[in-house]
Amino acid sequence: MGYILLILGIALFAGGHWVKRLAPEKRAAWGDKGKGILSVAMLAGVVLMVVGYRGAGFVNVWVPPAFMTHIANLLVLIGFWFFALSNINGTMAARVRHKQLTGVKSWAVAHLLVNGDLASIILFGGMLAWAVVSVILINKAQPTWERPVQVSVAKDAMAFGVGAVLYGIVAAIHTWLGYYPFPM
């Protein structure tokens, strides 16, 4: 049952995000009420992903090498940095159009490198696929992009600091949940 909930959660989360791109007229007809419905669907998707992932039986697909943990931690830190860059206009913010989706891709690849079980492959592979398809859909719908102005390296550093703090908080939560993210 865990795998079904996991897949359903990914589908709800992705579908909720893609409605605007795949059926813009229908989405526009829903008005503000539609935003609420889609938000609830996406939130339900996240809940189902968590419940499904935690309830999925362990099926080992491959055993990741221990050194991948270092690479994964770096990729997660980069992912948080890109999330911060979506609100803080550093020079990287002017180079990368889809900062949050780039952050999700970095986070997903990191988790795929260190988790070789089937549930992890479905969850993190699904989130990676969602982010890649989302970039394609957005670029197709809006081929031009207005780059942020008044960017600076100082703002890059500020965004990195925010990302590092978020990374530390999430690492602490992982540790609290019993998933120690740092190698000995």
The one-letter amino acid code at 112 reads L
Count of residues making up the chain = 184
Q: What is the pLDDT of residue 184?
A: 66
Percent of the chain with pLDDT over 90: 85
Q: Which of 37, 57, 77 is the last residue of a domain?
A: 57
Overall number of domains in the chain? 2
Task: Report how far apart the first and last C-alpha atoms of the chain are (Å, whole number).
Answer: 35
Q: Are residues 98 and 24 in the same domain?
A: no
Do residues 152 and 33 make contact, with C-beta atoms less than 8 angstroms apart?
no
In tens, the pLDDT along 85-94 reads 999 999 999 9
- Does pLDDT of 8 surpass 90? yes
Q: Which residues constitute the domain of residue 151?
A: 58-184
Residue at token pair 């969602």: 130
CA-to-CA distance for 95 and 119, rounded, in angstroms? Answer: 34
Verify that 37 and 72 share a domain, yes or no: no
Q: Report the pLDDT value the prediction gives residue 173, as an integer from 0 to 100.
A: 95
Place of tokens 């965004």: 159
Q: What is the pLDDT of residues 162-184, one digit of tens each?
A: 999 999 999 999 999 888 888 76
Whether 53 and 116 map to the same domain: the answer is no
The verdict on 4 and 23 lying in the same domain is: yes
97, 44: one domain? no
In this structure, are 12 and 78 located in the same domain? no
> Residue 50, exposed/middle/buried by CB under 10 A (0-12, 13-18, 19+)?
middle
Looking at residue 150, its pLDDT comes to 87
Q: Quick one: 180 and 127 in the same domain?
A: yes
No. of H helices and E strands in the chain? 6, 0
For every residue of 75-112, DSSP letters joined together read HHHHHHHHHHHTTS-BGGGGT-S-HHHHHHHHHHHHHH
Q: Are residues 86 and 9 in the same domain?
A: no
Tens of pLDDT, residue by residue over 136-158, are: 999 999 999 999 888 999 999 99
Report angle CA 80, 171, 52 to the nearest 5 degrees: 90
Q: Which helix (H) or strand (E) holds 151?
A: none
Same domain for 53 and 118, yes or no, is no
**Residue 174: CB atoms within 10 Å:** 14
- How does pLDDT run across 40-79, given as a tens digit for each residue? 999 999 999 999 999 999 999 999 999 999 999 999 999 9
Claim to verify: residue 146 and residue 177 sit in the same structural domain: yes
Domain boundary among 57, 74, 92: 57
Do 100 and 14 sit in the same domain of this protein? no
My answer on whether 1 and 19 are in the same domain is: yes
